Structures are given as structure tokens and as C-alpha cells.
Amino acid sequence: MQLCKIINTRGHFPNDEAAIKLLWLELRNVSAKTVRATFDWKSAMNQFAVLFGERFTQARG
């Protein structure tokens, strides 16, 4: 995956939140390029709903 490349290219970050945001943006780009279906996505969605509760259901719409 290109996450290591992005971290090394960027070098330093002013805080942890900046690094996490950069990784999140890259993961969004990677998931947009994915061509095959995600295996067992329903199970993952159920786990996210348990972990994040109302925030997750509000984000889904």
C-alpha cells in the first residue's frame, strides 16, 4: 500500500491529527480505485454500528 510512501514523502507533521488526516485521505483515494467488491462488508458495517453507535447511523443517512 502507498501509506508508507506518503508518510516518508511528507516527512514531518505538526501534530498527530495532521498525520491521521493525511492517511484518511489516502485511504479514501485507495477505496475509490478499488474495482472488486469488498468481502463480507455487511459484517463490517454491523461492527461499525456497534462501535460508533449513533454517529455511524447518522453518517449513513
Q: What is the reported pTM?
A: 0.46
Sign of CA dihedral 52, 55, 60, 61: positive
Query: For residue 60, what is the DSSP state?
Result: H
Domain carrying residue 13: 3-60
**pLDDT, one tens digit for every residue, the chain (61 residues):** 577 887 788 778 888 898 888 888 888 887 666 666 667 788 888 888 888 888 777 766 5
Neighbours of 7 (CB within 10 A): 15
Q: Cell triple for residue 19? A: 498525520
**Dihedrals phi, psi of 20, to nearest 5 degrees:** -65, -40
Number of structural domains (the chain) is 1
Contact 17, 25 (CB under 8 A): no
